[in-house]
Chain A
């Protein structure tokens, strides 16, 4: 499959870097890590009226309860991104280990595990998540575990496909014929060759999970108030739209920008990797 020529590659150096998404990702990461020190106000602090317009004191105005919008965005970055990152880490650890083992062992083990996971895959993540959350509630550990487990099935499919494409190459057979153990084959022969596609998938999976967390929160089933979260911020401020106020668009745009930025970074990485 040939990649389409990237139009932004033709622009000048600075613009290219800016358009690459890397600076935005860095910015968000900074917000995640430095939130308590960088935010102008407290996460749940009431500072003004409802939906005040932007001013020098409040760069993005206030939200539906009179809290500073910018502060809420910064803390929201921390909460949403952390949750998404942890869920991605869980999904990846599970999915990759299982996928690699299945691909390397082959035979009935592979068939059994793959069938089971295919069935799990038949239910969309949102539906499964809704079912589980309706019973277990939506505390943070439950959210991370649920999303992580459900998304690990998608990661499994990719990891298994990648591993299978590597396993058929003769150097793996050469290692096995030597008498190397399974773990050695997985870690020293397969994994180094799988890093590029796995890294790309990690980025993409994070952006999917991030969107998913935001959507869950938007539906009122994710991160609970008063903790700031971009998804629930959209819901809380939704009514402002009827008055022509852009309040819910701030967190919504933030979500969009981060997702686009992460996707761009992944695209650039893939393009660089595929060059010989």
Chain B
């Protein structure tokens, strides 16, 4: 098999192909999400209204949901609506889904964003430090901590933190209540515990994988060559190992950022944070289909976009695709 890889222009082609694939994925997922909630067995209207529903109520609901139209047509209607920013109306409240979802999703992104801002540099730094001295004290400490935090559910950490900082010490509020009149500092205080919880959860995953990726690279023959040239260990790790570990590390970070977006759902419920996760869980409980669809699409799209960015960065960073 030829091991000459495409030069510069080939990289553009690869990126375009990957972006195209991402777009196709989004469309397919939107279809899947739509049909998953729409075509699953059982009469949707009956499921929503329960066995007590009168035939008139059922008929009205069916008409309202356009259940009489063929599936493909309904999907197209919905997709067109989505592209115009119209996700329909919430079944529970009658309000436009978009007006309900948008501010909540912004809150979720803020929470996840803060957690990412803290956890990514921490994971990189600790991972690098651990890789410099594999098997050393820091490395072992970090590994043990990782094992523990990875194995526990988010709500465990959440409640533990609440018990500690909120109830026992009284430093921080247990409920992440946000309202318009709060100052920035007050907002920060409200979200501190949720952010810490998220950070702890995601940090462990990221750290473990970063460390593994770095150790894998450190086992490569060219690292031995660098050491035999008499270079300092720090130089070897930063100048020789890191560029090669960049791609897998970026993949790990993207994977975990996506996970952040999902892990946030549980954290929002624990702290009663007004985000999209909490919204989706409530909507599922109430069988509020348009809302569920919209939330699902929002989360899925974020995940897909993050993975797409990760893949593109990995392509750009891949040394074997470079040319003189």
The answer to whether A and B touch directly, with their CB atoms under 8 angstroms apart, is yes
Contacts of B296 in A (CB 8 A): 123, 127-128, 130-131
* A2–B134 touching, CB < 8 Å: yes
Known A-B contacts A5-B135, A218-B153, A220-B285; A123 and B215 likewise in contact (beta carbons under 8 Å): no
* A124–B262 touching, CB < 8 Å: yes
* A131–B162 touching, CB < 8 Å: no
* A136–B299 touching, CB < 8 Å: no
Contact flags B268-309 to A (C-beta < 8 A → 1, else 0): 011000000000110111010100110010011001100100
Is B160 at the interface (CB under 8 A from chain A)?
yes
Residue of A4, A134, A211, A238 touching B134 (CB-CB under 8 A): A4
Prevailing SS type, chain A contact patch: helix
- Residues B29-53 near A (CB distance < 8 A): 29, 32-33, 36-37, 40-42, 44, 47
Shortest CB–CB separation between residue B135 and chain A, in angstroms?
5
* B153–A131 touching, CB < 8 Å: no
Known A-B contacts A134-B283, A135-B42; A260 and B147 likewise in contact (beta carbons under 8 Å): yes
* B40–A253 touching, CB < 8 Å: no
Residue of A127, A135, A220 touching B44 (CB-CB under 8 A): A135
Contact flags B1-38 to A (C-beta < 8 A → 1, else 0): 00000000000000000000000010011001100110
Is A153 at the interface (CB under 8 A from chain B)?
no
Contacts of A242 in B (CB 8 A): 167, 174
Contacts of A122 in B (CB 8 A): 25, 29, 300, 303-304, 307
Is B321 at the interface (CB under 8 A from chain A)?
no
Contacts of B47 in A (CB 8 A): 135, 137
Q: How far is the CA of A196 from the CA of B291 in the complex (A)?
A: 44
Is A28 at the interface (CB under 8 A from chain B)?
no
* B160–A249 touching, CB < 8 Å: yes
Residue picked from A219, A221, A256, most chain B C-beta under 10 Å: A219
* B148–A218 touching, CB < 8 Å: no
Is A82 at the interface (CB under 8 A from chain B)?
no
Contact flags A237-274 to B (C-beta < 8 A → 1, else 0): 01001111010110011011001100110000000000
Known A-B contacts A130-B280, A221-B284, A252-B159; A135 and B262 likewise in contact (beta carbons under 8 Å): no
Residue picked from B32, B156, B299, B303, most chain A C-beta under 10 Å: B156
Residue of B29, B44, B155 touching A119 (CB-CB under 8 A): B29
Shortest CB–CB separation between residue A213 and chain B, in angstroms?
10
- Residues B92-149 near A (CB distance < 8 A): 134-135, 139-140, 143-144, 147-148
Is B323 at the interface (CB under 8 A from chain A)?
no
B residues contacting the other copy or chain, number (CB 8 A): 61
Is A94 at the interface (CB under 8 A from chain B)?
no
Residue of B148, B151, B215, B287 touching A134 (CB-CB under 8 A): B287
* B285–A221 touching, CB < 8 Å: yes
Is B231 at the interface (CB under 8 A from chain A)?
no
Q: How large is the interface on A (under 10, 10 to 19, 20 to 34, 35 or more residues)?
A: 35 or more
Shortest CB–CB separation between residue A67 and chain B, in angstroms?
20
Residue picked from B174, B258, B261, B285, most chain A C-beta under 10 Å: B285
Contacts of A57 in B (CB 8 A): none
Contacts of A260 in B (CB 8 A): 147-148, 151-152
Residue of A124, A231, A244 touching B167 (CB-CB under 8 A): A244
Is B78 at the interface (CB under 8 A from chain A)?
no
Shortest CB–CB separation between residue B151 and chain A, in angstroms?
4
Is A1 at the interface (CB under 8 A from chain B)?
yes
* B156–A256 touching, CB < 8 Å: yes
* B143–A4 touching, CB < 8 Å: yes
Shortest CB–CB separation between residue B145 and chain A, in angstroms?
12
* A219–B269 touching, CB < 8 Å: yes
11 further A-B contacts with Cβ under 8 Å, apart from A135-B47, A244-B168, are A123-B296, A124-B258, A124-B300, A130-B281, A214-B153, A215-B155, A234-B159, A253-B156, A255-B156, A259-B151, A263-B151
Q: Which 8 A-B pairs have the closest CB atoms?
A: A259-B151, A256-B152, A252-B156, A134-B284, A260-B151, A124-B262, A1-B216, A123-B300
Contact surface of A with B, Cβ cutoff 8 Å: 1-2, 4-5, 7, 118-120, 122-124, 126-128, 130-137, 207, 211, 214-215, 218-221, 231, 234, 238, 241-244, 246, 248-249, 252-253, 255-256, 259-260, 263-264
Contact surface of B with A, Cβ cutoff 8 Å: 25, 28-29, 32-33, 36-37, 40-42, 44, 47, 134-135, 139-140, 143-144, 147-148, 150-156, 159-160, 162-163, 167-168, 174, 212, 215-216, 219, 258-259, 261-262, 265-266, 269-270, 280-281, 283-285, 287, 289, 292-293, 296, 299-300, 303-304, 307
